[in-house]
Amino acid sequence: MIDPNQVQHINIKIFVENPVAIDLADAIPVFHNWIKNSVCDEMLVDVADYRHVPAGPGVLLIGHQANYSLDHREGRLGLLYNRKDALPGTFRDRLNQAFGAALRATELLEDEPPFRGKLKFNRALTEVFVNDRLLAPNTDETWQALKPEIQEYFPGCVVERLGEPRDLFRVSATTR
Amino acid sequence: MKASNPFWKPHLADRVPSQMAAELEVFENEIALKKQGKIEDRVFAETRLRRGAYGQRYDNGQRSDGQTTKKLLFPSEETKGPNTLWDAPGMQRIKIPFGGLDAPQLEMLADLCEEYSDGIAHITTRQDVQLHFIHIDDTPSIMRRLASVGITTREACGNAVRNVTACPIAGVCREQVFDVTPYAKAIAYFMLGHPDAQAFGRKFKISFSGCKDNACALARLHDFGAIAATREINGRIRRGFELWVGGGLGPVPQQARLFDEFVPEEEILPIGQAIARVFARLGEKKNRNTARIKFLVTKLGIAEFKRLVMEERQILPYDPAWTAFLKSVPTDAELPLKPPSLLQIDAAWPANSDKANFDRWRATNVYSQRQAGYATVTIALPLGDITATQLRAVADASRKYIKETVRSTVEQNLVLRWVSEADLPALFEDLKKGDLAAATAGTVMDVVSCPGTDTCKLGIASSRGLASELRTRLTAQNHTMDEAIRGLRIKISGCFNSCGQHHVSDLGFYGVSRNKNGYTVPHFQVVLGGEWTHNAGAYGLAIGAVPSKRIPETVERITGRYLAQRSVGESFQAFVKRIGKAECKAMLDDLMQVPSHDLDPSFYTDWGDAREFTIGDLGVGECAGEVITPIDFALVACEREVFEAQLSLDSGQFEKAAAMAYESMLHGAQALLKFKFFFAPEDADKIVAEFRAQFYDTELFFDPFVRGKFAQDFFNAHDDGGRAASPESAHQLIEQAQLFIEACYSCYARMSATPSKVMA
Ligand code: SF4
């Protein structure tokens, strides 16, 4: 029996609307500056460049409590917020934290000089992952337990379960 | 860091082999003791290294932002090694003996890289897998999950026998003398945790090659390189190995020396054990720079080294494991999933498919096996990196086309063995869907690189940044590239430690720095003409240092010159030798210049890094960890036993607690005996008698204040058979055991200060 309030490590991905308009290399100096200026709530450590990996993790900003990345998995570019550290509170609190952090990062990125006017995120589509197969395997049981919470958090959105059983538990929330 | 960490142990209880489960429990308890401050930093560092948990760049808590070096404010100030912060991300190395992987293992690696790392599994130049940005607190869960699919990380780092490598096409190779896989596997598990392989001053690397002329296992750059050979003895063809010892790269590269032209198969394990003993006994321990076996072989000379090894071999107590594996060698071979078939392009080719790309891919990535109708397919991974999704795609393909017979390679790729040839087009299409069908295997585009400054504490320049840049540029020329250039190899290391194996490459590079115009500028030393074939037959020549940003131009110029001026059939090595080092250098002279910062600031940053270059982030290497003697480990183990005794007492098992406390004392006494005499008895009565004679009667163990009290407690516990009548007396025994272990430490410290060690 999955208790939503025991679920941790919530990830959020918000997709880029016009991926061809940007050069992922520009994310490298931007993320270095974020470290230098402590732009995020998390303690930031380093930048990892995986542009050479097709449909890979792109460019990552490695933090202690969370990673941010311009992630290219499945060939779909987006801002991925990967919460690594556990958080107190309820599932909703954690979802709210992750979504808030991701949303803020998209706004910051859109405003960074190399991306300004070019990078635009589609906030009508969000993917929610749980990056822990033990706490939340991609099963019907997890879906039953978490769907109401996610639906309530994204009112008016169509919430759908994605992926195959080996994948992380993942849902999309799309504005109707 | 993961909230699920406490739950993996019960969840996997019936899937982790008991031996591995016990080892992991030990490691978890060591972590707990470290957190309580009961294990010294240097001892814990070697402990985690021996579990493959390695440090990573910036783990000293400092990082340059290009202008200044700032403190990284990790939540905890605790450490996991000298000057290594607990919370700082680290690397987990995962040993894959001979590179062999099956589908559940690939899927497990996929899950782990997604959940604990940065979504990438990295194949190393020694067929290992590495995960980066790992929190030390997550490592027991990672190890447990790996153990559930039969993988251990034990001795993946540290002063130990590292991953045993072998040709990735062993068993299917057309040139092989015989399949070396069973031998590589046997020695890997024989040496794992072997008592004779625990007291090295440095790491020890083993490789097995199926033939002499090809490159696959690079035997001659190993501490122990075995090349398959046969010999007719008494009218029978016998299997054995041409054995090379004392090779290595690093700052002082050395080719291995021929130890014996033919070591019979039944002798390869005992000879390995005897070499380990000689290395442990006579190898350098204090100065890690001269502690690899190559220095011992040089110092003694190969003849004397061999004499000592053979002498040791004579006195080795017989071990049935030396030959037990030989019985299954004939039946151990891998099997195909499908019957053999011939590729009939028109019939096998799916509709609307991509024939031209298939042909290109087939030319570079497909190897016809010695078994007619079968092929081995290479999946060329960019810089050895593979995503979780791709790992699952490889697992799927390995179930669909073959019997999960996958191997990693020292060129940082994966191979699928035993593909029935008619399946090649369909497999190509499947791999293409996962971005796994790059037609670059074994070509100049398949650039090999160590982690360099991306994650390595010792990295000077960005080897991966450069590798990525070269790969992109060379791939863009793929369709027009001359075959002579296509067949060259490029290997890059971030520093002179040579993890990228740049010495045995046509074009090799290793990171250095130069001070120019008041700035530090990233450079790469250019190494030309190394020989990849003949099991790393020759090392290349260092030509000079070129700024990082000019290496792509350097590659273009050198390959252009080779193309224009080579004589018919002349290899790159022969060309470099013919034109000579001076001419090679002259060719690059202008490229060695650095423009001023004002003119071109890009020279003062590294590839894939926006920060102004610095070497201020260089850390202290953990490549081999500290030299920790077996007694250090043994005494830590004793402390852990006392700790576990306390846990048992807390859970109401006082009798078990007392027995464990007594055992810890016994092991402490045994550790001191081993330290003093190299060997110690296993029997409790004998340990006590020896300890009494050597440490009590001589007063060597005596504390200045309480004299022989701690030893007396030990003797009493022994007389009582390690039993306690009540929880209170168990509690008392635990306290006595703790003090006895402390006294062992003090005694060890006194003995170390006044060298009285007698080697048996
Ligand atoms: S060669 Fe140097 S930079 Fe590369 S992994 Fe080895 S020690 Fe690190």
First-to-last alpha carbon distance for chain A, in angstroms, is 31
Q: Which CATH number fits domain B452-479+487-625: 3.40.50.1370, 3.30.2040.10, 3.40.50.150, 3.30.413.10?
A: 3.30.413.10
Centroid of chain to Cα B692: 42
Q: B713-740: per-residue pLDDT in tens?
A: 999 999 999 998 888 888 889 888 988 8
pLDDT tens digits, B489-517: 999 999 988 899 999 999 999 998 888 77
Rounded to the nearest 5 percent, the helix, strand and coil shares of chain A are 30, 30, 35
CA distance A38 to B87: 18
Please name the CATH architecture into which domain B628-760 falls.
Up-down Bundle (1.20)
Going from the Cα of B501 to the center of ligand 1, the distance in angstroms, rounded, reads: 10
| pLDDT for the residue numbered B534 | 78
Instruction: Match 């808030």 to its residue by tokens.
Output: A100
Q: Is the minimum CB–CB distance between A50 and chain B shorter than 8 Å?
A: yes
Q: Label residue B165 by pLDDT band (50, 70, 90).
A: very high
Closest residue, chain B, to A60 (C-alpha)? B118
Residue B352 has pLDDT above 80, yes or no: no
Q: Per-residue pLDDT for B153 more than 90?
A: yes
Shortest CB distance from A36 goes to which of B65, B118, B609?
B65
* Yes or no, beta carbons of B468 and A51 under 8 Å apart: yes
Q: Is 70 exceeded by the pLDDT of residue B711?
A: yes
pLDDT score at B675: 87
The residue to which tokens 């010792």 are assigned: B458
Look up the ipTM and state it.
Answer: 0.98
Per-residue pLDDT at B760 exceeds 60: no
According to CATH, the superfamily of the domain at B172-328 is: Sulfite Reductase Hemoprotein, domain 1 (3.30.413.10)
Torsion B97-B173-B475-A76 (CA) sign: negative
Asked if B414 and B397 touch (Cβ cutoff 8 Å), the reply is no
Reading the block at residue B719, the tokens are: 């007389």
- The amino acid occupying position B101 is L
Q: Of B618, B620, B540, nearest to B572 (Cα)?
A: B540
> Given this chain, do its domains B334-442 and B452-479+487-625 carry the same CATH topology?
no
Helices within B116-223 (DSSP H only): 139-147, 181-191
At residue B196, does pLDDT exceed 80? yes
A48 confidence band (pLDDT: 50, 70, 90): very high
- Interface contact flag, B72 A45, Cβ < 8 Å: yes
Per-residue pLDDT, averaged over A6-21, amounts to: 96
Taking only the tens place, the pLDDT of each residue in B593-611 is 999 999 999 999 999 998 9
What local confidence, expressed as pLDDT, does residue B751 receive?
Answer: 82
Average the pLDDT over each of A159-168, B106-115, B552-561, B679-688 and give the range with the smallest value: B679-688
How many Å apart are CA B548 and CA B521, to the nearest integer?
A: 8
Per-residue pLDDT band for B627 (boundaries 50, 70, 90) equals low
Q: Which domain holds residue A146?
A: 4-175
pLDDT at B644: 85
Given this model, what pLDDT does residue B388 score? 98
Cβ contacts (< 8 Å) between B77 and chain A: which residues?
none
As a whole number of Å, the CA-based R_g of chain B is 28
Provide, as residue numbers in chain B, all residues whose Cβ is less than 8 Å from the Cβ of A53: 120, 382, 385-387
The pTM (predicted TM-score) of the whole model is: 0.88
With a cut of 50, say whether residue B755 has pLDDT above it: no
- pLDDT tens, B197-214? 999 999 999 999 999 888
pLDDT computed for residue B350 by the predictor: 65
Looking at residue B349, what is its pLDDT?
A: 67
Q: Identify the pLDDT of residue A2.
A: 92
Nearest to A53 among B58, B382, B454 (CB): B382
Number of domains in chain A: 1
Q: Is B459 in the pocket of ligand 1 (CB under 6 A)?
A: yes
A45 and B CB contact within 8 Å: yes
Domain borders along chain B are 10-99+122-147, 172-328, 334-442, 452-479+487-625, 628-760
- Is the pLDDT at B266 greater than 90? The verdict is yes
- pLDDT higher at B201 or B215: B201
Confidence of residue B677 (pLDDT cuts 50, 70, 90): confident
**For residue B623, what pLDDT is reported?**
58
Banded pLDDT at A127 (limits 50, 70, 90): very high
- Output the pLDDT for position B213: 85
**B334-442: CATH architecture:** Alpha-Beta Complex (3.90)
Q: Give the sheet arrangement for strand A66-71, strand by strand.
A: A44-50, A58-63, A66-71, A78-83, A10-16, A121-130, A169-175, A157-162
Q: Which residues of B186-202 are buried (b: 16+ CB within 10 A; e: fewer)?
A: bbbebbbbbebbbbbbb
CB contact under 8 A, B465 and A55: no
What is the Cα–Cα distance from B282 to B284, expressed in whole angstroms?
7
SS3 A62: strand
Mean per-residue pLDDT of chain B? 92
B160 touches B198 (CB < 8 A): yes
Of A60, A74, A133, the CB nearest to B118: A60
Tally Cβ neighbours within 10 Å of residue B289: 11
Cross-chain residue pair A134–B89, CB shorter than 8 Å: no
Name the residue facing A35 among B65, B383, B465 (closest C-beta): B65
Per-residue pLDDT averaged across B617-645, rounded?
75
**Is residue A62 within 8 angstroms of chain B, CB to CB?**
yes
Cα B100 to Cα B226, B267, B477: the distances in Å are: 18, 24, 33
pLDDT of the residue at B532: 80
Instruction: Decide if B609 and A28 are in contact by the 8 Å CB cutoff.
Output: yes
Mean pLDDT of B320-334: 91
Contact B389 A133 (CB under 8 A): no
Interface test with A, best of B120, B130, B131, B463 (most A CBs within 10 A): B120
